[in-house]
């Protein structure tokens, strides 16, 4: 089966993705004076930094004030007090990436009961009764695309493994589901299952080096997000297997793209965080204007390889460390 080495998967709306200058907070000072707060899944992750850029740009266009906040680590017990502090400020609307499908239910309920319109961006709760809408990539399809790409890279035979953050995250769980569904269609491939790294690249690196040491026939790894991918690339390099053990990872941070250029990563599934952020503000204002808001919005994915990474219609989706 010929696996696509470069695919632009258009699944739904794509907002005009142009980057504009932005910082933590913006106040265009005009236009309705509404306050929107964006609670990232974690601070310092270029995926969410790019998402904040899209949200800032749309906030300027629509004349609303946007604050951006988040916890220092991907952890529901750290995100909860951040959300409670936001609720205390009674914003008109909140864009939030809940770090767990259950644990953030009560804090989100708190936001809603204080009158805020809740827009879930990237991740979502199992309970859909709080949010106005959920905006994210089609993560299950992204996982299937990663499996097809990895199967092609390893000529449909050998042993592969997966690495992810932790169970209970709507996005990475969906990617694993898509990956596992697809990889099972490749009889020549043995799948070892998933190991979790708690969103810590150092943990991801040591998981991969020990997996390589204990499975001499390991030929491929799927990494379900940024820090899983950055860590897996380091682990493969530390084991001296760069280019031999193939790596396909979700996301496209500067570090991941560098690893792609030097041959430690062979495929990246890039999301469009700028579009998700921009759509998030647009739907928040629509909800505040009592306009109809779709129950969910799915944004594009792009498969990135060494061959296409510098092509303009691919490179424009690579994540940024600043706007």
| Sites of contact with ligand T6T (CB under 6 A) | 41, 45, 47, 122-123, 169, 171-172, 225-227, 250-251, 271
Element (H, E) at 57: helix 46-62
We find the least distance from the C-beta atom of residue 76 to ligand T6T, in angstroms, to be 13
Say how far apart CA 307 and CA 153 lie, in whole Å: 14
- Report the residue number, 176 or 236, with the smaller CB distance to ligand T6T: 176
Minimum CB–partner distance for residue 318 and ligand T6T (Å): 14
98 and 123 Cβ atoms separated by less than 8 Å: yes
Nearer to ligand T6T by Cβ, of 172 and 283: the residue is 172
* CB of 213 or CB of 322, closer to ligand T6T: 322
Q: For residues 64 and 221, which CB has a smaller minimum distance to ligand T6T in the complex?
A: 221
281 vs 27: CA distance, rounded Å: 14
Question: Which residue's CB is nearer to ligand T6T, number 94 or number 226?
Answer: 226
Q: What is the C-alpha separation between 161 and 150, in angstroms, rounded?
A: 11
250 vs 274, beta carbon nearer ligand T6T = 250
Q: Find the shortest distance in angstroms from Cβ 320 to ligand T6T.
A: 14
318-321 CB contacts, 8 Å cutoff, 24+ apart: 318/252, 318/254, 318/257, 318/270, 319/46, 319/47, 319/49, 319/50, 319/251, 319/252, 319/253, 319/254, 319/270, 319/273, 320/19, 320/46, 320/49, 320/50, 320/53, 321/46, 321/49, 321/254
Minimum Å gap between C-beta 175 and ligand T6T is 8
Least distance CB 292 / ligand T6T (angstroms): 26
List the one residue out of 196, 38, 187 whose CA is nearest residue 119.
Answer: 38
- The least distance separating ligand T6T from the CB of residue 32, rounded to whole angstroms, comes to 30
Please, what is the minimum distance in Å from the beta carbon of residue 229 to ligand T6T? 8
Residue (69 or 190) nearer to ligand T6T, CB: 69
User: Tokens in use for 303?
Assistant: 């498969």
Please report how close the Cβ of residue 72 comes to ligand T6T at its closest, in angstroms.
13
Q: What is the DSSP letter of 147?
A: H
Specify the residue, 138 or 182, whose C-beta has the smaller distance to ligand T6T. Answer: 138
Give the CA-trace dihedral at 219, 223, 224, 226, to 10 degrees.
Answer: -160
Residue 219, CA atoms < 13 Å, CB-side half-sphere: 15
- Contact present, 15 and 317 (Cβ < 8 Å): no
Per DSSP (E only), the strands in 203-319 are 218-223, 246-250, 267-270, 296-299, 301-304
Residue among 241 and 272 whose Cβ is closer to ligand T6T: 272
Q: Least separation, in Å, of the C-beta of 172 and ligand T6T?
A: 6
- Are the beta carbons of 88 and 113 closer than 8 angstroms? no
């Amino acid at each position: 089966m010929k696996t696509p080495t470069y695919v632009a998967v258009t699944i739904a709306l794509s907002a005009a993705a142009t980057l504009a200058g932005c910082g933590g907070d913006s106040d265009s000072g005009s236009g309705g004076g509404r306050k929107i707060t964006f609670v990232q899944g974690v601070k310092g992750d270029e995926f969410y930094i790019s998402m904040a850029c899209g949200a800032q740009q749309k906030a300027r266009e629509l004349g609303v004030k946007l604050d951006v906040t988040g916890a220092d680590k991907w952890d529901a017990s750290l995100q909860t007090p951040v959300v409670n502090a936001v609720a205390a400020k009674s914003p008109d609307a909140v864009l939030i990436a809940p770090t767990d499908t259950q644990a953030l239910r009560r804090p989100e309920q708190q936001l809603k009961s204080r009158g805020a319109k809740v827009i879930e961006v990237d991740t979502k709760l199992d309970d859909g009764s709080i949010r106005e809408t959920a905006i994210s990539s089609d993560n299950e399809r992204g996982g299937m695309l990663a499996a097809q790409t990895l199967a092609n890279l390893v000529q449909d035979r050998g042993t592969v493994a997966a690495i992810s953050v932790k169970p209970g995250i709507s996005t990475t769980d969906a990617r694993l589901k898509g990956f596992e569904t697809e990889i099972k269609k490749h009889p020549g491939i043995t799948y070892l299952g998933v190991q979790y790294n708690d969103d810590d690249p150092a943990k991801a690196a040591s998981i991969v080096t020990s997996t390589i040491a204990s499975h001499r026939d390991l030929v491929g790894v799927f990494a379900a997000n940024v820090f899983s991918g950055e860590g897996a690339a380091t682990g493969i390099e530390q084991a001296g297997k760069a280019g031999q053990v193939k790596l396909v990872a979700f996301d496209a941070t500067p570090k991941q793209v560098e690893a792609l250029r030097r041959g430690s990563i062979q495929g990246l599934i890039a999301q469009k965080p700028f579009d998700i952020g921009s759509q998030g503000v647009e739907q928040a204002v629509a909800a505040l204007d009592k306009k109809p808001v779709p129950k969910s919005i799915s944004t594009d994915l792009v498969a990135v390889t060494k061959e296409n990474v510098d092509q303009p219609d691919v490179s424009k989706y690579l994540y940024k460390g600043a706007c």
